Amino acid sequence: ASYNIFLLPGDGIGPEVTAEVEKVAHVISGAGLAKFEFEKGLVGGSAYDAHGQAISEADMARAQAADAVLLAAVGGPKWADVPYEVRPEAGLLRLRKDLGLFANLRPALCYRALAEASSLKRELVEGLDIMIVRELTGGVYFGEPKEITNLPNGQKRAVDTQVYETYEIERIAAVAFEMARKRGNKVTSSEKNNVMKSGVLWKEVVTDVHKKSYPDVQLEHMLADALGMQLVRYPKQFDVIVTDNLFGDLLSDVASMLTGSLGMLPSASLGAADASGKRKAMYEPVHGSAPDIAGKGIANPIAMIGSFGMALRYSFGLIEAADLIEKAISDVLAAGLRTADIKGDATSSVSTSAMGDAIANALKKA
């Protein structure tokens, strides 16, 4: 099959790391596993420089039409003073909103060769592979009322409101169960039903979705505070974790530190499924545009290549190819190759393009 990928290199190290994705895609095409067509657009500061918008209408239309969007990163000091509506981040927000990306997927993956870089003991994280599915468009960050009012006694009163409706929980639960089927077949759903009504509904709806459509997947429920504790105590017990916007924000940041460098972590954001089960999707590294190292050719391309791997796995169903990419990354790290950010005690480090070449070569041999 042939897949149309809309590539948005963005700013800073973006163009450097996306160039390495094209090498990896080339090997997969060459092996006859799938064909990829890359169409390139502009987002963020580079789009502002070209036409005064953080993303153009033409590029938004291409993003809507693509099988998947692959974005590197936006922003940098060069655009610190551009008007608020056209600041680099506005391009990202527009993409998330218009594509309806309500599910944020953040894997915490720990390559064996890098286990010593983790904040935890090696045996706790070596080979760790968790996926956190965070609800991204609802909950307490968006619920109304949201305000600060003055009280008659001179004090103030601040209100944020946690709101979830059945359909919002149903669709995020479905994403989590579908992920689990392509991974370890287990979902841990997390809320605080002991103190929150939204937690009561969350647990009820996830249980219903499970019974109705995914009885083959193992489901457990865990209170969010207990989950935070377990994530640090024994993270390998988890496969897919599904939780709301607020808890997901906190828990995914905790999980990311289980695994080492920012330059290693991919992510995905998914939208609603259409009649054929296809979802709008955008894949991007967790890291930013790293202006401090941009243009030096030393950025780590692994988070970006891993994001492409997630697109293969979760948008295109190319599980075998996605596994091969992960294995190639793992092999290259095991052979001792390091970019500067993950150098640790190694005696030398390699460039962005040398790391990309090595991963592409390892893939060719697999």
| Binding site as annotated, residues for Mg(2+) | 225, 249, 253
* Per rule CB under 6 A, count of chain residues that contact ligand NAI: 20
Choosing from 40, 98, 129, 141, the catalytic residue is 141
Contact pick of 198, 300, 307, 315 for ligand NAI (by CB under 6 A): 300
* Annotation marks residue 192 as catalytic: yes
Q: Which does 249 bind (CB under 5 to 8 A by kind): ligand NAI, Mg ion, none?
A: Mg ion
* Annotation marks residue 225 as catalytic: yes
CB of 253 to Mg ion, least distance (A): 5
Task: Enter the tokens of residue 141.
Answer: 């960050």
- Cβ atoms 271, 98 nearer than 8 A: no
Task: Enter the tokens of residue 158.
Answer: 């601040």
- Is 287 an interacting residue with respect to ligand NAI (CB under 6 A)? yes
- Is 357 an interacting residue with respect to Mg ion (CB under 5 A)? no
- Cβ atoms 341, 263 nearer than 8 A: yes
Which DSSP state fits 153? T
- Is 299 an interacting residue with respect to ligand NAI (CB under 6 A)? yes
CB of 129 to ligand NAI, least distance (A): 20
Contact pick of 170, 249, 323, 357 for Mg ion (by CB under 5 A): 249
Specify the 3-state DSSP secondary structure of 42: coil
* Annotation marks residue 253 as catalytic: yes
Q: What is the DSSP string of 252-314?
A: HHHHHTTS--GGG-EEEEEEEE-TTS-EEEEEEESS---TTTTTTT----HHHHHHHHHHHHH
CB of 237 to ligand NAI, least distance (A): 29
Quote the longest CA-to-CA distance of the chain.
Answer: 73
CB within 8 Å of 204: residues ≥ 6 apart: none
Choosing from 249, 323, 343, 357, the catalytic residue is 249
SS3 content of the chain, % helix, strand, coil (to 5): 45, 20, 30
CB of 267 to ligand NAI, least distance (A): 9
- Is 252 an interacting residue with respect to ligand NAI (CB under 6 A)? no
Which residue in the shown chain puts its C-beta closest to Mg ion? 249
- Binding residue positions for NAD(+): 76-89, 288-300
User: Known catalytic residues?
Assistant: 141, 192, 225, 249, 253
Q: Which residues contact Mg ion by CB under 5 A?
A: 249
